[in-house]
Chains A and B, each alone.
Chain A
Amino acid sequence: MTTINGSKEMASGFVIRENQYYDSVFLMGINKVLSKAPGVEQTAVLLGTEANKRLLADIGFASPEIDAAQPNDMIVAVIAESAAVVEEVINGFDKTLKAMVARSPVSNIRTLEAGMSYKPDANLAVFSIPGEYVANEARKALESGLNVFIFSSNVPLEEELELKQIGKARNLMVMGPDCGTSIIRGLGIGFFNAVRRGTIGVVGPSGTGLQEFTSQVHNAGGGISHAIGTGSNDLSAGIGGLTTLSAMQALEADPQTEVIAIIAKPLGAKTLASLVDQAKGFTKPLVGCFLGSGKESAGKYEPIQWAYTIDDAVELALRAARIAPKEVAELERGGEGELVVAARANWSPEQKYLRGVFAGGTFCYQAQQILGDAGIQIYSNSPIESDFMLEDPDISRAHTVVDMGDEHYTVGKPHPMIDSTERAKRILVEAADPSVAILLLDFIFGYNASNDPVGELLGALQKAKTMRSKVGGELTIVASVCGTNEDHQDIGLQIKMLNELGAFVFHSNALATAFCRRLLDRS
């Protein structure tokens, strides 16, 4: 079934293919091919899940046919400059699909049960299937005695709670839902960096938070015993930190772990009380970074040593593990005070604002903490305080930092850690604003991340700088890199590319943001 609507400005259309289930990465691959056709404004290739149908409605696709689509049906939606283009894309879709199917061999194991019969000694099930289905499958895994890692998001909180209660009763670890990163005994799952094994264990709800912590520990000469992702909602009042508490207990019992760190956001009163209660019985040193919690709240977390930034948590953890940090060259070029002066010297009088365009949600959050505490009002699509919520996530105002990993930007599209297309677009939008002086960026390396994070944005960054210099002034680019020299992307080469562009490159988001704070400090 195909439906096409045309108007003077834009045309749109969709087609639904019943009983054609493919995984989300496969569908994103098709979407990428379709979106590149000339005259196409936007495309989406999604399964007919409830969450996807809501997202389609948000971009203007509402119809009884879409409402009736099942999670096993594939929906192809196209917005283009004319009805002819829409028709052409939809007609060409089958050819693209056929070519991509031919390139993707499938396993003959189609169910969890079949997987368990092939691997009766399995002790971990990893799930990345649509959120609507994952609770049923994860429950079966837990009931069969397997620990679970759930990458899938869009799982209702009550289902998460049920899974975590089963996990608690059966003494099994439930990492997720919406868990991006874990490293167990040196083995990474999801998105992670290549780090050496060592004595520091870490727990946290955010994948990028764990990546920043583990990479920095490695870069400073330390090592990681285990990094346990809990899923983004674990510390919410509804879940009460069930996985966080259980992961910390497991690290306390683990002979390899000497220090336990937690990287999170501020906790509600009840969850905080459970965490502190449990921590009091621990024998190992505890370090915690609760981004956005404010220095005045440090005492509330005792006996956990409170850290202001992820960098501070790394430093405290290394000290507790009696590891003298290796000097990491923080800035690739010269002394910092001179650099601040030099960067500002070329700004035109109208240039005054910072725009952060982030792939990592935790980096967007930590940047707000550092700039906000310096008295700089900062807007975001994911603000620490709701007063600073952007009315339209696509339109920045004054100082703004945007989390491009937010659902708004990832409807049927890959996360910006995997593909920089959406981030490149936003960078050009920000550069076209004459009041913008600074672009703050993060580059995340490691397994499953893009093979060339800097290269993917280089064209857009060069264009942004040229656009700015044509109207007078200079765009200052400040970047942080999250990764290690063991990652496959060749971090040294990636940094070199940024340096050649004239960017200021730092080995952590906290340092890059602190540099921006000094750039903005006119007092």
Chain B
Amino acid sequence: MENKKADLLQQPLVVINVGLKDFAENLEAQEADVIQVDWEPLAGGDQEMIDLLKDLL
């Protein structure tokens, strides 16, 4: 098993920001390595459909 927790405090952060863009912009302003994900709910947020897809995928 990879141990990335030690990485969290010991290595530069490489961040995937999922959601509010402001957080990614602030990370960029601090010269962090970050990518923005403009997330949307799968299957239009229909929980039954999400559960079904989870089983299939």
Contact = CB atoms under 8 A, between A and B. Distances in A.
Interface of A: 19, 21, 23-25, 47-49, 70-73, 106-112, 114-116, 118-119, 121-130, 132-133, 136-137, 141, 145-147, 151-152, 170-173, 184-185, 187-190, 226, 246, 250-251, 253-254, 256, 447-448
Given A145-B4, A187-B30, A129 B16 contact: no
Contact of A112 (B11, B16, B26): B16
Top 8 A-B pairs, shortest CB-CB distance: A128-B19, A71-B45, A72-B45, A115-B16, A72-B44, A128-B20, A115-B37, A107-B38
Contacts of B46: 70, 72
B23 to A, nearest CB: 6
A125 B39 CA distance: 13
Contacts of A447: 26
B23 A21 contact: no
Contacts of B19: 23, 126-129, 151-152
B16 A126 contact: yes
B3 A24 contact: no
B37 A109 contact: yes
Contacts of A151: 19-20, 23
A21 B46 CA distance: 13
Nearest to B44: A72
B23 A110 contact: no
A273 to B, nearest CB: 24
A128 to B, nearest CB: 3
Interface centre among B10, B20, B21, B54 (most CB of A within 10 A): B20
A110 B42 CA distance: 10
Nearest to A19: B44
B7 A127 contact: no
30 contacts: A21-B40, A23-B21, A48-B45, A70-B46, A72-B40, A109-B35, A111-B39, A115-B18, A115-B35, A119-B14, A124-B14, A124-B15, A126-B17, A128-B20, A128-B23, A129-B19, A147-B7, A171-B1, A172-B8, A184-B9, A185-B9, A185-B13, A188-B26, A189-B27, A190-B23, A250-B9, A253-B9, A254-B9, A447-B26, A448-B23
A119 B35 contact: yes
Dominant secondary structure of chain B at its interface with chain A: mixed
A147 B16 contact: no
A24 B20 CA distance: 8
A133 B49 CA distance: 13
B14 A122 contact: yes
Contacts of A190: 23
Given A21-B41, A109-B36, A250 B8 contact: yes
A187 B27 contact: yes
Contacts, number: 160
Given A107-B37, A170-B1, A124 B23 contact: no
A486 B2 CA distance: 37
B4 A172 contact: yes
A71 B7 CA distance: 35
Contacts of B4: 123, 145-147, 171-172
A19 B39 CA distance: 14
A501 B37 CA distance: 44
A106 B40 CA distance: 12
A121 B11 CA distance: 11
Given A171-B4, A226-B9, A112 B37 contact: yes
Nearest to A47: B45
A504 to B, nearest CB: 32
A130 B47 CA distance: 13
Contacts of B37: 107, 109-112, 114-115
A36 B38 CA distance: 28
Interface centre among B8, B32, B46 (most CB of A within 10 A): B8
Contacts of A145: 2, 4
Contacts of A251: 9
B33 to A, nearest CB: 8
